[in-house]
Amino acid sequence: MAYRYPDSHVFYRKLGRDFPRIVRGDGCYLYDENGKRYLDAVGGAYVANLGHSNPEIADALARQARSFGYLSGTAFTHGPVEELAAELAATLPGDLDKLYFLSSGSEAVEAALKLARQYWVESGKPGKHKIIALAPGYHGNTLLALSASAREHYKTMFREWLVDVHRVPASYPYRCRCRGQDPQCPVCSGAVLEDAIERLGSDTVAAFIAEPVGGSSTGASTPRPEYFHRIREICDRHRVLFIADEILCGAGRTGTWWSIEPYGVAPDIMTLGKGISGGYAPLSAVAAPERILDAIAGGSGDFLHAQTFSHHPVARSATSSGTSWSSVAPSSAWCCTSGWRRSRRCRTSVTCAVAGCSPASSSSRTRRPGRRSRAPRGSRRRSRTPRSRRGSPCGPTSVTPTASTATSCWSRRRSSSPKARSTKSWHCWRAPCRTR
């Protein structure tokens, strides 16, 4: 049978191609009905960072389903949601300690932007309604999240339904004239945000939203180390809420719990998703501090964003099972160190044209006019760096490990065979210089 439109009753995401039918997964591998094996190097859509078929998570889901499968978040609370909120709150930066759970990244962004708007209305400032976002940038596919995204080809059919979101250029060294080297560059320093706020009027701007590490739009690009300090100062000065979108880049993917951490600042609101459940259940969240929720609690008393499957007990049990978050910490640290070392070896043999070419992402295959040609194949041989000269991998300019390593970590620990561990057959790494 061909699994494609219109031969199947499934409304597929792509209507012009065949789909392999997967029958099982194991660690970082997937297997289709014909026995073909696939290396899930990106963890699906940057999601499966704990590997496939983790028995502990599967057991936790089954246990919760046997107790009760669904409760209305309007009427009840339950153990999984209370435990997960406490676990996540302990990892969050700054004063973020309250979590509102949803089912997808787009929903979380939608809710975060609505929370920012409701906060200002309940605080007596209804004029603050405008949103500023980065371009390039992507935040989701629901209408408000799509409005905040700089994906014009996604908007073509729906433009009349979208709201106006004001954009400033993202700090993107690969495209910027200064290549990320000039601290006075208006784009790479973040000064363009202040210009935009002053132009629009600070009394009309509600929020600024950005990914701390660029996602699929900028190939995991990172800004200058002081960039988010400047953003934080600008938002504080003009009373604009800073929303950090950590849906793709968070949950240990960059060597710390959250990718904003190395910059030493905390956002006012943060969105989480994808890897926080390892893909075992649809799960996302909005994190906010008491100072924002107090304005709503003292006003209307309700966040006006109720959804049927928010705070779902079975989805929450996937992450509060005791497996996910206890596994992410060592996996994240290992991925950070491993990725940084491999990228450093790559740089010793190939001169990379990108200033601070830190995160390795297989999605970063953009071309630049007048692009430099690749180094001859023979010159790309690895160059060993003495262990004594290897610095610390973690920090704003360190290499961000891709989902390929994050997906593989759990399967590495599962292997009990010394031979399997020594061959490193589980590992897939794409160096950043080779994807430019």
As a whole number of angstroms, the distance between CA 64 and CA 70 comes to 10
Same structural domain, 296 and 341: no
As a whole number of angstroms, the distance between CA 153 and CA 416 comes to 47
User: Which pLDDT score, from 0 to 100, does residue 406 have?
Assistant: 39
114-149 burial: b if 16+ Cβ within 10 Å, else e: ebbbbbbbbbeeeebebbbbbbbbbbbbbebbbbbb
- Is it the case that residue 435 has pLDDT exceeding 60? no
Q: Is residue 325 part of a domain?
A: no
Q: Is residue 209 part of a domain?
A: yes
**Inter-residue contact 134 to 169 (CB < 8 Å):** yes
Q: For the sheet containing 37-39, what is the strand order?
A: 22-26, 29-32, 37-39
Q: Is residue 371 part of a domain?
A: no
Q: Is residue 44 part of a domain?
A: no
Same structural domain, 80 and 141: yes
Q: What is the pLDDT of residues 309-326, one digit of tens each?
A: 889 889 888 775 544 555
Q: Is residue 97 part of a domain?
A: yes
Same structural domain, 337 and 255: no
- Is it the case that residue 424 has pLDDT exceeding 50? no
Q: Is residue 324 part of a domain?
A: no
- Mean pLDDT score of the chain, rounded to an integer? 80
As a whole number of angstroms, the distance between CA 57 and CA 413 comes to 15
Q: For the sheet containing 205-210, what is the strand order?
A: 98-102, 284-288, 269-272, 241-245, 205-210, 130-135, 166-169
Q: What is the pLDDT of residues 249-260, one digit of tens each?
A: 998 888 889 999
| CATH code for position 148 | 3.40.640.10
- Is it the case that residue 386 has pLDDT exceeding 80? no
Q: Which pLDDT band, with edges at 50, 70 and 90, does 330 fall under?
A: low
**DSSP character at residue 52:** B
Q: What is the pLDDT of residues 263-306, one digit of tens each?
A: 999 999 999 999 888 889 999 999 999 999 999 999 999 999 98
Same structural domain, 160 and 188: yes
Same structural domain, 224 and 350: no
Q: Is residue 372 part of a domain?
A: no
- Which of 235, 239, 263 has its CA nearest to residue 249? 263
First to last CA, the chain: 39
Same structural domain, 167 and 199: yes
User: Within a 13 Å sphere around the CA of 361, how many CA atoms are in the beta-carbon half?
Assistant: 24
Same structural domain, 270 and 159: yes
Q: Which pLDDT band, with edges at 50, 70 and 90, does 358 fall under?
A: very low
Same structural domain, 240 and 271: yes
Same structural domain, 104 and 18: no
The phi, psi pair for 298, rounded to 5°, reads -85, -5
User: Within a 13 Å sphere around the CA of 382, how many CA atoms are in the beta-carbon half?
Assistant: 9
Same structural domain, 140 and 3: no
H/E element holding 143?
helix 143-147
**Inter-residue contact 173 to 188 (CB < 8 Å):** yes
Same structural domain, 310 and 352: no
Residue 422's contacts (CB-CB under 8 Å, 6 or more residues apart) are none
| Degrees to nearest 5, angle at CA 300 with 298 and 304 | 125
Count of the separate structural domains present in the chain: 3
User: Which pLDDT score, from 0 to 100, does residue 362 have?
Assistant: 37
- Which of 336, 359, 308 has its CA nearest to residue 103? 308
Same structural domain, 136 and 262: yes
Q: Is residue 63 part of a domain?
A: yes
Task: Give the domain extent around 189.
Answer: 58-319
